[in-house]
Structure 1
């Protein structure tokens, strides 16, 4: 007498699974095929050893039900391992410019060439905004000619209590950090790309700027690693390009 699918499933519900339920409720019976008195299905398990007895009981129960041929195939599947971490253990760097926590706006002050008054404009703008009650920071990123310490009348080495966070200096209501405070006054700064980029990122992220309405960044003259790093890492809200009225100076600025 031919068996029906419902009869086979009802029979398998009487077989206990190691999980505490039966084979059907545990979702172990897959690809069930009932043809006459022939029954075939797959038991999909994580490991075959705990289910050996359940398989034998299912075969005996189906034969007692009237099955002439019973085929139960157990397949063991394992959770695929995650791909190896080929990184360096560091967090992935952001793909684009990001806002610096605590700083509302960043304004870059640049020039096409040196000696046009760029640093003077940056320091005067910072002091003017501070005089109006704004919380202002001034970052002297002109690594080749850092003049903001003299402009604002500050001196001395910035402190770092924990060796990580740098405490900026303050005068005229302006919070200021300059690479000139980290080097000797009579020492030339001869840095290439990676060192420039690292210094700028350190002054942006490791200086304890606090809450600022605006951070003014005094850039080196021209275009180079410092300018590109700032544009790639920090979200700029505006830029001021300083120039003198001579034709050659305006050509450089443009």
Structure 2
């Protein structure tokens, strides 16, 4: 006789005749099957039902081939099924955030979409803070499209490691910097990484960089959008604030709103918005042209409880100096864009001092 067949039969044998909704299997405390011989122990709180239960059990099991059926009773009730362990309380993903070592203030520069000049703003913001006398670092966290080495003229910089496997950040224009672009074999080598490898590299960039002297500011140049890198950053590192870069077009401002909402979700305060390519001043006439239409950025900033930190004009010199590897802030002091970047840096410092 098969043990499973015996148990199935006991489960299908009800005891409605004595007014209970149990089956014989519900009362079973022990069961042994040896050949066609069956030993079974049943729970019964009263001898009143012993004879009935004994006859019912024997009849049931002999109907499926049992030759000898030994029935024993116990007044000890069946043990309750052990409840599965309760899952541990869900951990707040932001409770494990760490400060980036060797850095006083960490600023993330982000954009809801690509093509708005986010990296240009990030590099020149770092340069403006450096120009004000602060020690500054620039971290290019755009793993798939690193442009920091080009804009800072650092494509030939070598990255070495300390004995404890910390990467030593090289320096360009007095700014400590790190980018995946410095670790690739060539400038045109693509980064073809999936999530886990990307997150491991990002974690190393955040926590395993030797910045030398303590930095007053670390500018983190994020990839465009509201994806995994932004969420991972928000859950692993303590960020003092975010600056969102946009252009005046409505299509860009839609993504600004998404960016603000995303930073709110990951509990990173939005310091303000920088409007890049805000207007063009004709060098011949001095007349200002709003090429991308009248700006609504200030309205969006007020709507979402933040502020417009500054408007950066379109100046050909910005792109020219970027291609040469020199931030316009350091290359051309009298440029309108330089003055705008310096004002953004001033407002940033003021906002951080109010936190």
Find the aligned partners of 1:109 and 1:95 in 2 and give their Cα distance. 23
The alpha-carbon deviation at position 165 of structure 1 amounts to 1.2
Q: Hey, what does 1:74 align to over in structure 2?
A: none
Q: Hey, what does 1:40 align to over in structure 2?
A: none
Q: Hey, what does 1:118 align to over in structure 2?
A: 118
RMSD: 1.6
The alpha-carbon deviation at position 94 of structure 1 amounts to 8.6
Per-residue deviation, residues 99-124 of structure 1 (Å, max 9, x unmatched): 12221110000001111010000000
Per-residue deviation, residues 50-95 of structure 1 (Å, max 9, x unmatched): xxxxxxxxxxxxxxxxxxxxxxxxxxxxxxxxxxxxxxxxxxx994
Q: Hey, what does 1:205 align to over in structure 2?
A: 207
| Secondary structure, counterpart of 2:210 in structure 1 | coil
| Secondary structure, counterpart of 2:198 in structure 1 | helix
Q: Hey, what does 1:190 align to over in structure 2?
A: 192
| Secondary structure, counterpart of 1:240 in structure 2 | strand
Instruction: Give runs of ≥4 in structure 1 deviating > 2 Å.
Output: 93-96
Q: Hey, what does 2:96 align to over in structure 1?
A: 96
The alpha-carbon deviation at position 161 of structure 1 amounts to 4.1
Are 1:137 and 2:137 matched, yes or no? yes
Find the aligned partners of 1:195 and 1:222 in 2 and give their Cα distance. 19
Retained in 2: the 8 A contact 1:196–1:225?
A: no
Retained in 2: the 8 A contact 1:146–1:179?
A: yes
Retained in 2: the 8 A contact 1:96–1:233?
A: yes
- Could you list the runs of 5+ residues in structure 1 that have no partner in the other structure? 1-92
How many residues matched?
162
| Secondary structure, counterpart of 2:167 in structure 1 | coil
Task: Give runs of aligned pairs for residues 48-67 of structure 1, distance below 5 A.
Answer: none
Find the aligned partners of 2:238 and 2:198 in 1 and give their Cα distance. 19
Find the aligned partners of 1:225 and 1:147 in 2 and give their Cα distance. 20
The alpha-carbon deviation at position 125 of structure 1 amounts to 0.4
- Could you list the runs of 5+ residues in structure 2 that have no partner in the other structure? 1-92, 258-355
Q: Hey, what does 1:249 align to over in structure 2?
A: 252
Q: Hey, what does 1:105 align to over in structure 2?
A: 105
| Secondary structure, counterpart of 1:186 in structure 2 | coil
Q: Structure 2 length as normaliser, TM-score?
A: 0.44
Per-residue deviation, residues 117-165 of structure 1 (Å, max 9, x unmatched): 1000000000110111101010000111100001110123311142711
| Secondary structure, counterpart of 1:130 in structure 2 | helix
C-alpha change, 1:173 and 1:113, in structure 2 (3 Å) is same
Per-residue deviation, residues 30-65 of structure 1 (Å, max 9, x unmatched): xxxxxxxxxxxxxxxxxxxxxxxxxxxxxxxxxxxx
Retained in 1: the 8 A contact 2:94–2:234?
A: no
Q: Structure 1 length as normaliser, TM-score?
A: 0.61
More helix by share: 2
Find the aligned partners of 2:167 and 2:197 in 1 and give their Cα distance. 18
Retained in 2: the 8 A contact 1:131–1:173?
A: no
Find the aligned partners of 1:126 and 1:213 in 2 and give their Cα distance. 11
Higher relative contact order (CA 8 A, sep 6+): 1
Find the aligned partners of 2:190 and 2:101 in 1 and give their Cα distance. 32
